[in-house]
């Protein structure tokens, strides 16, 4: 049975949060220590877009190079929001050279693989649900959640919620390739 997509789960969460905010309008402001703590620990606003944050991290050089080759840099610098499951340089090193060469020679296939790592919308780790999710490539990926660990098409999510001005990055330890890809 199909589960709701990550984007739908995010929308439900946003509606729930909005409803909670509406309830607060009818009451006096909360001045308890707990409310003060939440404000004090809020994360700073991100200063760069998805591409800038990834390049600045230093461990996504291969991804950045391939995004340039595929003509996707401007898209991922756009308004978004986007959720990117970003393979590290070590993840790309695990892909056999023949596959990388084929992708490099086939811009359409390269674009399909790279957009298979992107979900439209901003999905934080707390909003991730197990099931099928529609990727920007048009293909569906499988999200699994077990024992507090998340995988996407068998790639492990190793770091989550890296904020960008136009979305969020979740780091994965393998390159995921859609089953529909024809090389």
CA gap 94, 97 in Å, rounded: 9
Least confident range of 20-29, 106-115, 121-130, 167-176: 20-29
Nearest Cα to Cα of residue 53 among 146, 142, 164, 150: 164
pLDDT above 60: residue 4: no
pLDDT in tens, 65-94: 999 999 999 999 988 899 999 999 999 999
Beta carbons of 119 and 140 less than 8 angstroms apart: no
CA gap 125, 34 in Å, rounded: 23
Least confident range of 15-19, 54-58, 124-128, 153-157: 15-19
Q: Which residue has the higher pLDDT, 142 or 45?
A: 142
pLDDT above 90: residue 183: no
Go through the domains of the chain in sequence order and give each one's CATH number. Answer: 6-172 (2.30.180.10)
Q: Residues of 109-143 as b/e, b for ≥16 C-beta within 10 angstroms?
A: bbbbbbbbbbbbbbbeeebbbebebebbbebbbeb
Q: What is the pLDDT of residue 57?
A: 87
Nearest Cα to Cα of residue 123 among 160, 165, 158, 150: 160
Q: What is the pLDDT of residue 5?
A: 34
Q: How many helices (H) and strands (E) does the chain have?
A: 8, 7
């Amino acid at each position: 049975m199909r589960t709701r997509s990550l984007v739908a789960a995010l929308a439900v969460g946003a509606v729930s949060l909005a409803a909670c905010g509406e309830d607060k309008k009818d009451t006096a402001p909360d001045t308890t220590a707990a409310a003060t703590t939440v404000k004090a620990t809020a994360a700073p606003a991100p200063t760069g877009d998805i591409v800038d944050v990834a390049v600045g991290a230093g461990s996504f050089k291969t991804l950045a190079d391939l995004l340039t080759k595929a003509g996707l840099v401007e898209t991922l610098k756009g308004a978004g929001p986007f959720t990117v499951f970003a393979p590290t340089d070590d993840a790309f090193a695990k892909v056999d050279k023949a596959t990388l060469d084929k992708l490099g020679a086939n811009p359409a296939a390269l674009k399909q693989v790279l957009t298979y790592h992107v979900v439209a919308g901003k999905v934080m780790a707390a909003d991730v649900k197990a099931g099928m999710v529609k990727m920007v490539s048009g293909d569906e990926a499988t999200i699994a959640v077990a024992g507090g660990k998340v995988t996407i098409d068998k790639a492990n999510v190793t770091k989550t919620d890296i904020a960008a001005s136009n979305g969020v990055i979740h780091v994965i330890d393998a390159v995921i390739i859609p089953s529909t890809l024809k090389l």
